[in-house]
Amino acid sequence: MGSFIKKDILLFLRDRKEVVIALLLPLVLIFIFNFAFAGLIDDDEIELDLQLGLVNKDQSVAVKDELTEKLIEDGDFQPEEATVIAEQALDFEPAEIIKNSLENEGMDQWMTVHPLNEEQAKEQVTSEEIDAMLVIPEQFTVESLYAGITGKSPDVSLEYRLTEETMSNGAIYTIITGIIDHLNYQFVIGQVADDNAVELIEPKGGVERLGAGEDFTIAQYYTIAMGILFALFLSMTVASKTSEEIRLHAFDRILITNSHPILFLMGKMVSTFLLAWLQMMLVFALANVLLDVFPDRSWAFWLGMMLVTAFFALAVAGIAAFFTSISLRITNLEAAHGVLNLVIMVFALLGGNFVPRFVFPGFLQKMSDWTPNGRTLSILTDWLQYQQWSSLIIPSIILTSFGIIMTLIGLVIYPKRGRES
């Protein structure tokens, strides 16, 4: 199979036009799109009108007694000592501090807090009447005060729910983490773990803990989008060489060597995987060097980029297998090219490679997640913000599964003799 891989890589690299398209065109487009869509993210003049549903389930009335009891039972405090500490701690009311911070005068100019019960809030989040909801759980005051006094992690945490990650609910999340930091500071409990405060729960029930998120720029978005788009095109380029090989009868010569026809397909897949991965990493690296797109990023960040890119390259390799089989099935080479181009353009449009995903309506964002490029864009923009390894696991499995499914379809429709006769 090595010979097939080497042949396909050489054929691609010897085609200067293709190399220029794969490496330079993405950079030019990154520059153009960055300029054209800059206002979507970077415009400081954007007016925010954030809508937050606040559900306060903390209705404790005997805070002092409950806290004293918890300090004695769980914290091994002496009863007298516990009573004094609980008395002093009553000066702090965490739930009230959060509520007041969200509703204070400066904040109310760009965020409206709607006190709701939990059911109402869930409904409104789902129907996108509000951007997100924050739930202050039962016993939050007692648990937070206990955590603040003992330095232990609290048994309850705030719940933050949203339907889709958007600029708006991302901003709310940042505000809430700011308030929690402020709260912790007031307790002077620097030793409290970072994950003690905010939990993000998606409506489907999945729970994701967020670290300190960073914003991403439109240049970063389009660097990733263009890298992905041209990797998709690359799957078509490699597969469409099949048409060329048929036209030149080199494919016939391969067939009569008695080598297994599947090796031809596997060669296309592996070479596409290698070329797509290399192409994307080169685009990311060149964009960083020339346009300073990912400034001050750690090695861990780049490692994550390489990993996600590898999983996407697997999906692209699967697409190349499918496209190769299509090329062998369709005798009209022009028609074959047309079909492949159409598939790529639909993927690109749905996946957010031309227009940013976050400006799509909800249903389109959901469809976008079903495309390998849309899913990869989503993973990498998350990675840009939160850099959490655990968040890569499920999407990577999805991308790999997509690659496997496309490969299987490619194998099923691959002509038995390598070519129809």
Partner 1 sequence: MLETVNVSKSFKGTKAVQNVNLYLDKGESVGLLGPNGAGKSTTISMIATLLKPTSGEIKWNGVNIVHKPGEIRKELGIVPQELALYEQLSAYENLKFFGSIYKLKGKELENRIQHALEIVGLRDRQKGLVKTFSGGMKRRVNIAAALLHKPQILILDEPTVGIDPQSRNHILEMVRTLNETEDTTILYTSHYMEEVEQLCDRVYIMDHGEVIAAGDQSDLLSILSSEDTINVELSMVSEPFVEQVNMLEGVRKVEVANTGLKLIAKKGSNLISELVHLADEHQIQLVHYQTESPSLEDVFLHLTGRTLRD
Binding to partner 1 (CB under 8 A) within 380-419 occurs at 417, 419
Residue 247's CB is within 10 A of a number of other CB atoms, namely 10
Q: Which of 47, 256, 334, 363 binds partner 1 (CB under 8 A)?
A: 256
Please state the closest distance from residue 382 (CB atom) to partner 1, in A: 40
- Please report how close the Cβ of residue 256 comes to partner 1 at its closest, in angstroms: 5
- Give the nearer residue to partner 1 in terms of CB position, either 41 or 255: 255
> Can you tell me which of 104, 191, 258, 298 binds partner 1, judged by CB under 8 A?
258
Contacts of partner 1 in 354-383 (CB under 8 A): none
Whether the CB-CB separation of 207 and 200 falls below 8 Å is answered with yes
Nearer to partner 1 among residue 182 and residue 253 (C-beta): 253
- Distance, in Å, from the CA atom of 277 to the CA atom of 297, rounded to the nearest integer, reads 20
| Token pair for 272 | 């596409």
Distance separating alpha carbons of residues 118 and 115, to the nearest angstrom: 10
CB of 26 to partner 1, least distance (A): 23
CA distance 227 to 207: 30
17 near partner 1, judged by CB under 8 A: no
Identify the residue among 191, 257, 298, 390 touching partner 1 (CB under 8 A). 257
Given the complex with partner 1, which of 167 and 263 has the nearer CB atom? 263
281/330 with CB nearer partner 1: 330
CA distances from 38 to 35, 228, 282 (A): 5, 20, 23
State the number of CA atoms in the 13 A half-sphere of 182 facing the CB: 15
**Least distance in angstroms from the C-beta of 271 to partner 1:** 13
Q: Which of residues 102-131 bind partner 1 (CB under 8 A)?
A: none
Stretch that binds partner 1, among 9-17, 79-87, 140-148, 150-158 (CB under 8 A): 9-17
Contact call for residues 79 and 72 (beta carbons, < 8 A): yes
Minimum gap (Å) between residue 318 Cβ and partner 1: 24
Burial class of residue 333 in the structure, from the number of CB atoms within 10 Å of its CB (0-12 exposed, 13-18 middle, 19+ buried): middle
- List 104, 191, 390, 421, residue binding partner 1 (CB under 8 A): 421
Distance CA 382, CA 216 (A): 9
Closer of 213 and 261 to partner 1 (Cβ): 261
In 3-state terms the chain splits into helix, strand, coil percentages (rounded to 5) of 65, 5, 25
Q: CA angle at residue 179 from 178 to 182, to 5 degrees?
A: 90
Quick one: which segment of 25-33, 34-42, 255-263, 350-358 binds partner 1 (CB under 8 A)? Answer: 255-263
Least distance (Å) between residue 243 CB and partner 1: 14
Q: Which is nearer to partner 1, 204 or 416 (CB)?
A: 416
Residue found by looking up tokens 């391969």 in the block:
254
Q: Which residues contact 326 (CB under 8 A, 6 or more apart)?
A: 239, 336, 339, 340, 413
User: Segment near partner 1 (CB under 8 A), from 2-10, 83-91, 185-193, 280-288?
Assistant: 2-10
Residues in the chain: 421
d(CA 79, CA 77) in angstroms, rounded, equals 6
- Map residue 134 onto helix, strand or coil: strand
Report the nearest approach of partner 1 to the CB of residue 264 (Å): 9
Smallest gap from Cβ 42 to partner 1, in A, equals: 43
CA 122/CA 134 separation, integer angstroms: 10
Quickly list H helices, 127-217.
Answer: 140-150, 167-187
* Binding to partner 1 in span 217-246, by CB under 8 A: 245
**By CB under 8 A, is residue 259 in contact with partner 1?**
yes
| Residues at the contact surface with partner 1, assessed by CB under 8 A | 2-4, 6-7, 10-11, 14-15, 245, 248-250, 252-259, 263, 417, 419, 421
